[in-house]
Amino acid sequence: MLDENEIDARFSQDYVKTRIGRLPSSWEVVRLGDVTDPSAPIRYGVVQIGPDTHGGVPIVPIKHLGRIDKAKLHRASPNIEARFLGSRIRGGDVLISVKGTIGEVGVVPSGFEGNIAREIARIRPNSACDADFLALQLGADHTQRRIEKKVVGSTRLEFSIHAVRDFLIALPPLMEQRKIAQILRTWDKAIEKLEALRAAKELQFRGLQQKLIDQDFKSYGDTLEQYALIQNLEKITSVDDMKVLTVKLHCKGIMANGRNVPVTLSDKGRPYYKRKVGDFLIGRQNFHNGGFGIVPPELDGFIASSAITSLRTDSSRVDVHYLFYFFSRKDYYMRIGHIMDGTGQKELSDKQIRKLPVSIPSLEKQVKVVKILNAANEEISLIDTKIEALARQKRGLMQKLLTGEWRVDPELEGA
């Protein structure tokens, strides 16, 4: 997507050492405060936004920085928001999260007007700084590493407003900024198209899953214990070469992660058990969020605490992958979630799991359903692979372009 003609070799040896690394001699190292519109200095947002108010002022939170124009935003009362006029935002403003989650970056879309939460700082670039370039520079890996060094706090992290104003960035001439941003937008557009395709495929998959698997709770005459052995596992008594298994908390395929961690075995704590390939895992505290997985071959023999229930199915009666697809329907695990017990962290007990209602067809039908759903899931996985590949390419290109290692000719058209 990047034409080699856009890389200008004329500047290849024209570099100098700066406070933030080796940069082209024509680039500047500037404080964020120096590239900010003087009429709109860098500011935090609204401290307490109050209840959602019909007709109020939209407030952008951290979680929606990358999708301001697509998200349903909380609206603050005009009386509350009026006390924070200095942090109002408009199209072209660059936003960065500065409390709690540090370093998330977004650009306010054209035509938008509103305000920001206290955890965000607004940067309104002056005429010498392109907003898209600035957002890319702030979000780049090499810049994020420098931001991390400026963060303070032990319980709640903060990138202070003074540190934001004094933070140094590499700034090429304006036309070069715009050209770099234009090139990187090519990757963004390609990723956005794939993400839209993935969303459509995911919707199709969920519809297919609902169609192929019975959802009529009234017809469920069986319980899970009729098809699976629960916690019939090998208890761990040695800590040699322990590998701990965790379960991802979302449903989109066979999911289990392994990692080496220190393990302390105690008679007072929950015991650890070995899991074997094909075990169906249920995160008892996360059942209502879809905490399910199947142990893949590469994680055979990993351990997990008894906080994760493990099922070994009767293979003559049930395909474990069908069981996964059966449980991972959102309407099912959310409707069952209300029976979770506990005053603090709620969870299902093994006894409750044994009694979970199921409706399992013949093994022949299960195999057919699994084959269809696996094929649909594979389409989604292939799109995920393409998205990840493009994202890696973009990160690598950002490192080259935003540090000046690769130069571009601003006068060339296209990207």
Which tens digit of pLDDT belongs to each residue from 54-111?
999 999 999 999 889 888 999 999 999 999 999 999 999 999 999 989 999 999 999 9
CATH architecture observed for domain 28-171:
Alpha-Beta Complex (3.90)
Say which CATH class 1-14+179-212+364-415 falls into: mainly alpha
Q: By CB neighbour count within 10 A (0-12 exposed, 13-18 middle, 19+ buried), where does 125 fall?
A: buried
Q: b/e string for 378-399 if b means 16 or more Cβ within 10 A?
A: eebeebeeebeebeeebeebbe
Q: Which CATH number fits domain 215-360: 3.40.50.300, 3.40.50.1820, 3.90.220.20, 3.40.50.1000?
A: 3.90.220.20
pTM exceeds 0.85 for this model: no
Judged by average pLDDT, the poorest of 53-62, 246-255, 330-339, 360-369 is: 246-255
Q: Is residue 324 scored above 80 in pLDDT?
A: yes
User: Region 295-320: what's the mean pLDDT?
Assistant: 77
CATH 1.10.287 residue ranges of the chain are: 1-14+179-212+364-415
Q: What angle do CA 186, 188, 194 make, to 5 degrees?
A: 110
Q: Which of 17-31, 119-133, 256-270, 369-383 has the lowest mean pLDDT?
A: 256-270
The string of pLDDT tens digits covering residues 46-65 is 999 999 999 999 999 999 99
Per-residue pLDDT, 249? 40
Higher pLDDT, 152 or 220: 152
Place of tokens 């404080």: 31
Residue ranges of the chain assigned to CATH 3.90.220.20: 28-171, 215-360
